[in-house]
C-alpha cells in the first residue's frame, strides 16, 4: 500500500503569526492572589536587570549583552513550574531562569564581567556555565549541544529511580541542528523524562523562520518522534506556568519526553551590537503590544490584585538589590595575570586513578589476547563501580561488532549496557550528563572514524567543562582504530591527532594486552575524560602475560620496551611491534619507548632515553603531516638539541586516505620505510 501525506499549505499562517494575532488572555484558575504577585515579582526582576544592563552598555561599563526582553515569561514561567531539584538547560536569553532560581546577583554580575568571582573565573562569558548547586547547566556557543547532556541527566534519574526531570531549551534556529534531532530521538527511544522546550521567537540571529524551516509549528515534530507535544503563548506567563506544569508532570510520571513550544518574539538583536534593522518595524510594534511584563502587570491591576503603590515598592526593592549587586561587582578587582601554573592546574581535575599494581609474578600470568584483556578490564570496572554505564551501537545482546562486551548484558543488565541509536553526538553528550548526575560513562565508537560525528561534544564539552566551571565529565570514549585490516578509508583512520591538540582530554593508546587492560581500568577510574584508542589489528594478533586480577597502568607514564645504546625510537600502538621487528636486526643498539599515553605524554622518559642514545626517530601509523609524531619531534629538537648527534627523524604513513586494497594499504603504512630510516639513523 502506498501512503502519501500532504505537505502543509504554504498559505496557512504559521504558529508565530497566529500567536501574534491572538490576544493575551490570562487564566488565573488555581493561582492565589499571593501566587500571582510572586509571579509578577519574578517576572519583573529580569526585566529590570536587563534595562540596567542596557544603560551600562551604553555607558561602556559592560562589554556585551544578549537581551531577552520580550521573552521573560518563558524563562520565568518554566522555572516557577519546576521543582528545585529538576535540572534546567537554558540559553543566552533566559536570565529569568537564573533569577527565579534565586542565584546571587553579585555573582551573576561578576560572571558577565569576567571577574574571578563569577562561575567561570573569567574564563567564559554570560550564561556559558553550569552550577550543580542550583541545578542549572548553561549552554556553549554551539547551539543544541546541551540537549543530549539533558538526556544523560534524565537517564541518571531513571537509573536512580528518582523523580527529577530535565527541561532543555532550544531556539527555533537551534532546532535545525542535528543535535536537536539526536537528543529528542534518543530521549524518545530510551523513555527519558526530558521536556524539550523550543522558544519559537521568529529569528535565528537575522535569519527569519521562513528561511530556517518549513513546518508551521514545532509541535508537529513531536508526532514524528512518537512523543507528545504541547504549545503555549510564550508571552503569557500564567499559560507558560500551566503548560510547563503539565509537561513536567507528564515527564515525571510517564518517564517519557515531551516537546513544549513557546510562541514568543525577540525584541532586540541577537546581541546588542547586531541591532534589529532586519526586522520590519510593524512587526516589532505589534509584538511590543504583547509585552509579557506590561500585559501581566495590567492584568493584575485590572483584577485588583496589584496596586500602583505595591508595584512601586516592588520596583524599589528590585532596584536596590540590583544596585547592591552591581556595587559589589564593580568593587571586585579585575582579574590580573596569574601564574601559568594556576591556569594549567585547572585544565584537568586534581588527582588521578588510584594505582593498583599487578599482583604476583608477571612471567607466570596467563597469556591473553588484547581483545580479551580489554574486555576483562571493562568487565572488572563494571563490577567495582555500580555507577558505570556503557553505551554504544550494538554493544548489548550482540556484544559489539568486535564482541568486547559479549556477555555483559547478561551480567549487568540493559540499564547499564545500553544499545544506542546511530547518533554519536547525543550519546557522548549523554555520557557527560550521566557524569553531571554523579555517574560514570563509557561510550564506544563502533569505529574510531565515526567519532567525527561526535567531535563537538568531545572537544568543547568533555574537554573544556572542568576548566570553565569546575566539573570534569567522567567519560571514557573507546575508539577502535587503525589500518592493516583492509577496511578502507572510513574504517581505518588514525584519529588520535584530532584530539592531542585539545587541553582537558587524556589520550591513551596501548600496544600490549597487559597495558590494554591496565589503561582501561585506569581510564575508567580517572576523574576526567579519557579517549581510549584500541588498535583493531592487534585485537587478536597480540597476546602477552596479563594478570586476571584487577590492576591499573598509570596514565601519563611511558614504558621502555627495549633498551639500546645508539638510537631511541619513540612510538605507540602498532608502531611498537614494527619497531621490535626492525630492532631485532640491530641487537643492543635500539632503545624503544612506548608512549602508551599521548596526552599528556611522558617527556621525562623520552628525554632520558635521548640523552643516553643521542638520536631520536619518531614512528607512528598516522599520516605524516600533522601527526602526533610532529609534536614529539619538535619538542625533542627544541629541548634536547645539545644531546643530539643526528637530526630527529619522523616516519609515518603516506599523506593519503587509507586505501582499501591490501597492496596499496601496505604501501600506505610506514613499516617498510621505518626499517630503512632506522638503518640510516644508526649509520649517521
Q: Is 534 helix (H, G, I), strand (E, B) or coil?
A: strand
What is the rounded average pLDDT of the residues 448-469? 95
Q: Which part of the chain has CATH 3.40.50.920?
A: 559-683
Q: What is the CA radius of gyration of the chain?
A: 29
- At residue 104, the pLDDT reads 97
Residue 280 predicted with pLDDT over 90? no
- At residue 284, the pLDDT reads 83
Q: Model-level pTM? A: 0.95
- At residue 3, the pLDDT reads 75
CA atoms within 13 A on the CB side of 445: 31
Angstrom distances, CA of residue 608 to CA of 616, 630, 632, 645: 11, 19, 14, 15
Q: Could you tell me the pLDDT band of residue 475, with boundaries at 50, 70 and 90?
A: very high
> What is the C-alpha separation between 100 and 78, in angstroms, rounded?
10
Q: Could you tell me the pLDDT band of residue 268, with boundaries at 50, 70 and 90?
A: confident
- At residue 270, the pLDDT reads 75
Class of domain 559-683 (CATH, top level): alpha beta
> What is the C-alpha separation between 371 and 444, in angstroms, rounded?
14
Q: Could you tell me the pLDDT band of residue 22, with boundaries at 50, 70 and 90?
A: confident
Q: Which residue has the higher pLDDT, 78 or 213?
A: 78
Q: Is 491 a catalytic residue?
A: yes
Residue 205 predicted with pLDDT over 80? no
Q: Could you tell me the pLDDT band of residue 279, with boundaries at 50, 70 and 90?
A: confident
> What is the C-alpha separation between 429 and 333, in angstroms, rounded?
36
**Domain 362-545 listed as CATH 3.30.9.10:** no
What is the rounded average pLDDT of the residues 285-298? 93
Residues facing 530 on adjacent strands: 476, 506
Question: CB of 598 within 8 A of CB of 500?
Answer: yes
- At residue 65, the pLDDT reads 83
Q: Could you tell me the pLDDT band of residue 332, with boundaries at 50, 70 and 90?
A: very high
What is the rounded average pLDDT of the residues 374-389? 98
Residue 348 grid coordinates: 584537568
Catalytic residue among 270, 471, 491, 535: 491
Q: What percent of the chain has pLDDT above 70?
A: 99
- At residue 567, the pLDDT reads 97
Q: Which residue has the higher pLDDT, 360 or 682?
A: 682
> What is the C-alpha separation between 128 and 144, in angstroms, rounded?
13
Q: Which residue has the higher pLDDT, 273 or 494?
A: 494
pLDDT digits (tens, 9 = 90+) for 669-679: 999 999 999 99
Class of domain 29-330 (CATH, top level): alpha beta
Write down the H helix ranges in 289-358. Answer: 292-302, 308-331, 340-345
What is the rounded average pLDDT of the residues 151-179? 95
Mean pLDDT, the chain, rounded, equals 94
Question: CB of 650 within 8 A of CB of 635?
Answer: no
Q: Residue 470 gets which letter from DSSP? A: S
Angstrom distances, CA of residue 539 to CA of 476, 482, 533, 584: 19, 11, 12, 23
Residues in the chain: 684
- At residue 478, the pLDDT reads 98
- At residue 277, the pLDDT reads 80
> What is the C-alpha separation between 353 and 337, in angstroms, rounded?
32
> What is the C-alpha separation between 290 and 101, in angstroms, rounded?
25
pLDDT digits (tens, 9 = 90+) for 517-563: 999 999 999 999 999 999 999 999 999 999 999 999 999 999 999 99
Q: Is 180 helix (H, G, I), strand (E, B) or coil?
A: helix
Residue 601 grid coordinates: 605524554
CB atoms within 10 A of CB 557: 14
Residue 167 predicted with pLDDT over 90? yes
Residue 584 grid coordinates: 631485532
Q: Which part of the chain has CATH 3.40.50.970?
A: 29-330, 362-545
pLDDT digits (tens, 9 = 90+) for 595-641: 999 999 999 999 999 999 999 999 999 999 999 999 999 999 999 99
Angstrom distances, CA of residue 545 to CA of 370, 372, 402, 591, 601: 10, 12, 21, 22, 25
> What is the C-alpha separation between 43 and 96, in angstroms, rounded?
7
Residue 518 grid coordinates: 591496565
Residues sharing a CB contact under 8 Å with residue 512, sequence separation 6 or more, in sequence order: 370, 542, 544, 576, 594
Angstrom distances, CA of residue 308 to CA of 50, 298, 304, 305, 314: 22, 10, 10, 10, 10
Question: CB of 492 within 8 A of CB of 318?
Answer: no
What is the rounded average pLDDT of the residues 43-66? 91
Q: What percent of the chain has pLDDT above 90?
A: 83
Question: CB of 151 within 8 A of CB of 181?
Answer: no
Amino acid at each position: 500500500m502506498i501512503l502519501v501525506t500532504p505537505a502543509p499549505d504554504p498559505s496557512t499562517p504559521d504558529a508565530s503569526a497566529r500567536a501574534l494575532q491572538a490576544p493575551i488572555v490570562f487564566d488565573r484558575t488555581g493561582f492565589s492572589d499571593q501566587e500571582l504577585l510572586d509571579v509578577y515579582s519574578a517576572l519583573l526582576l529580569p526585566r529590570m536587570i536587563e534595562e540596567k544592563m542596557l544603560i551600562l552598555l551604553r555607558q561602556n561599563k559592560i562589554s556585551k549583552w544578549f537581551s531577552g526582553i520580550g521573552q521573560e515569561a518563558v524563562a520565568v514561567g518554566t522555572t516557577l513550574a519546576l521543582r528545585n531539584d529538576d535540572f534546567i538547560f537554558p540559553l543566552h536569553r533566559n536570565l529569568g531562569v537564573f533569577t527565579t532560581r534565586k542565584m546571587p546577583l553579585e555573582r551573576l554580575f561578576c560572571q558577565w564581567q569576567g571577574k574571578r568571582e563569577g562561575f567561570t573565573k573569567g574564563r567564559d562569558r554570560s550564561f556559558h556555565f553550569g552550577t550543580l548547586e542550583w541545578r542549572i547547566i548553561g549552554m556553549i556557543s554551539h547551539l543544541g549541544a546541551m540537549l543530549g547532556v539533558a538526556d544523560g541527566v534524565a537517564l541518571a534519574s531513571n537509573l536512580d529511580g528518582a523523580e527529577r526531570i530535565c527541561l532543555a531549551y532550544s531556539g527555533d534556529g537551534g532546532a535545525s541542528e542535528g543535535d536537536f534531532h539526536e537528543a529528542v530521538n534518543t530521549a524518545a527511544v530510551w523513555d527519558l523524562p526530558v521536556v524539550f522546550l523550543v522558544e519559537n521567537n521568529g529569528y535565528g540571529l537575522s535569519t527569519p523562520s521562513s528561511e530556517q524551516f518549513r513546518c508551521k509549528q514545532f509541535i508537529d515534530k513531536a508526532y514524528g518522534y512518537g512523543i507528545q507535544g504541547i504549545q503555549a503563548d510564550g508571552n503569557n506567563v500564567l499559560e507558560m506556568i500551566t503548560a510547563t506544569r503539565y509537561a513536567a508532570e507528564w515527564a515525571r510520571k510517564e518517564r517519557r519526553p515531551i516537546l513544549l513550544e513557546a510562541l514568543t518574539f525577540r525584541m532586540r538583536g541577537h546581541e546588542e551590537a547586531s541591532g534589529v534593522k532586519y526586522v520590519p518595524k510593524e512587526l516589532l510594534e505589534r509584538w511590543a503590544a504583547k509585552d509579557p511584563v506590561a500585559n501581566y502587570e495590567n492584568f493584575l491591576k485590572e483584577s485588583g490584585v496589584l496596586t500602583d503603590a505595591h508595584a512601586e515598592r516592588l520596583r524599589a526593592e528590585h532596584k536596590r538589590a540590583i544596585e547592591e549587586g552591581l556595587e559589589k561587582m564593580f568593587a571586585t578587582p579585575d582579574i590580573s595575570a596569574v601564574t601559568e601554573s594556576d591556569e594549567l592546574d585547572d585544565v584537568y581535575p586534581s588527582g588521578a586513578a588510584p594505582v593498583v599494581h599487578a599482583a604476583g609474578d608477571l612471567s607466570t600470568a596467563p597469556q591473553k589476547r588484547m581483545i580479551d584483556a580489554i574486555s576483562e578490564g571493562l568487565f572488572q570496572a563494571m563490577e567495582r563501580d555500580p555507577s558505570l554505564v556503557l553505551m554504544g551501537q550494538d554493544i548489548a545482546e550482540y556484544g559489539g561488532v568486535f564482541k568486547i562486551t559479549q556477555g555483559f548484558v547478561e551480567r549487568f543488565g540493559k540499564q547499564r549496557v545500553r544499545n544506542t541509536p546511530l547518533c554519536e553526538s547525543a550519546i557522548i553528550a549523554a555520557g557527560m550528563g550521566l557524569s553531571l548526575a554523579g555517574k560514570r560513562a563509557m561510550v564506544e565508537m563502533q569505529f574510531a572514524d565515526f567519532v567525527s560525528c561526535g567531535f563537538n561534544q568531545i572537544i568543547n564539552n568533555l574537554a573544556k567543562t572542568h576548566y570553565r566551571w569546575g566539573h570534569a565529565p567522567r567519560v571514557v570514549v573507546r575508539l577502535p582504530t587503525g589500518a592493516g585490516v583492509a577496511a578502507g578509508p572510513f574504517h581505518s583512520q588514525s584519529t588520535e591527532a584530532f584530539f592531542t591538540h585539545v587541553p582537558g582530554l587524556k589520550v591513551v593508546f596501548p600496544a600490549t594486552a597487559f597495558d590494554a587492560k591496565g589503561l582501561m581500568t585506569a581510564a575508567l577510574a580517572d576523574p576526567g575524560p579519557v579517549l581510549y584508542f584500541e588498535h583493531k589489528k592487534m585485537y587478536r594478533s597480540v597476546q602477552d602475560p596479563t594478570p586476571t586480577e584487577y590492576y591499573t597502568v598509570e596514565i601519563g607514564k611511558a614504558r621502555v620496551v627495549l633498551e639500546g645504546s645508539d638510537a631511541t625510537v619513540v612510538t605507540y600502538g602498532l608502531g611498537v611491534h614494527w619497531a621490535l621487528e626492525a630492532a631485532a636486526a640491530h641487537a643492543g643498539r635500539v632503545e624503544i619507548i612506548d608512549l602508551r599515553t599521548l596526552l599528556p605524554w611522558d617527556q621525562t622518559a623520552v628525554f632520558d632515553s635521548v640523552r643516553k642514545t643521542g638520536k631520536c626517530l619518531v614512528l607512528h601509523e598516522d599520516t605524516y603531516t600533522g601527526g602526533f609524531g610532529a609534536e614529539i619531534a619538535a619538542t625533542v629538537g627544541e629541548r634536547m638539541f645539545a644531546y643530539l648527534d643526528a637530526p630527529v627523524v619522523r616516519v609515518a604513513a603516506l599523506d593519503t586516505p587509507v586505501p582499501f586494497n591490501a597492496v596499496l594499504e601496505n604501501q600506505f603504512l610506514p613499516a617498510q620505510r621505518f626499517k630503512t630510516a632506522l638503518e640510516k639513523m644508526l649509520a649517521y
